[in-house]
Amino acid sequence: MKGVVPSFRSLGLERALDDCIFCNIVAGRIPCRKVFEDEDIFAFHDIHPAAPVHFMVIPKLHIASLAQVDLGHQMLLGKMLVLASKLALEQGCGDGWRSVINTGRVGRQEVYHLHMHIIGGKVVLPGMIKR
- Residue type (1 letter), 69: V
On whether residue 131 sits in a domain, the answer given is no
The reply to whether 114 falls in a domain is yes
Considering only CA atoms, give the Rg of the chain.
Answer: 15
Percent of the chain at pLDDT exceeding 90: 79
Q: Is 29 a member of any domain?
A: yes
Alpha-carbon distance of 91 to 32, in angstroms, equals 16
CA distances from 52 to 46, 65, 67, 97, 109 (A): 10, 26, 29, 11, 21
pLDDT digits (tens, 9 = 90+) for 45-91: 999 999 999 999 999 999 999 999 999 999 999 999 999 999 999 99
Query: CB-side exposure of 48: number of CA atoms within 13 Å?
Result: 1
pLDDT range class, residue 6, cuts 50, 70, 90: very low
**Average pLDDT in the chain:** 89
Distance CA 73, CA 47 (A): 27
* CB within 8 Å of 54: residues ≥ 6 apart: 45, 46, 117, 118, 119, 120
- What is the arrangement of strands in the sheet containing 34-37, beginning at the earlier edge strand? 34-37, 41-45, 53-59, 116-120, 97-100
Domain region containing 72: 14-120
CATH code, 36: 3.30.428.10
pTM of the model: 0.85
User: Minimum mean pLDDT among 10-19, 35-44, 67-76: which range?
Assistant: 10-19
Asked, for residue 101, whether it belongs to a domain, the answer is: yes
Could you tell me if residue 126 is inside a domain? no
Q: Is residue 8 assigned to a domain? A: no
> Is residue 79 assigned to a domain?
yes
pLDDT at 16: 53
The residues assigned a catalytic role are 115
**What is the domain count for the chain?**
1
Q: Give a yes or no: residue 5 inside a domain.
A: no
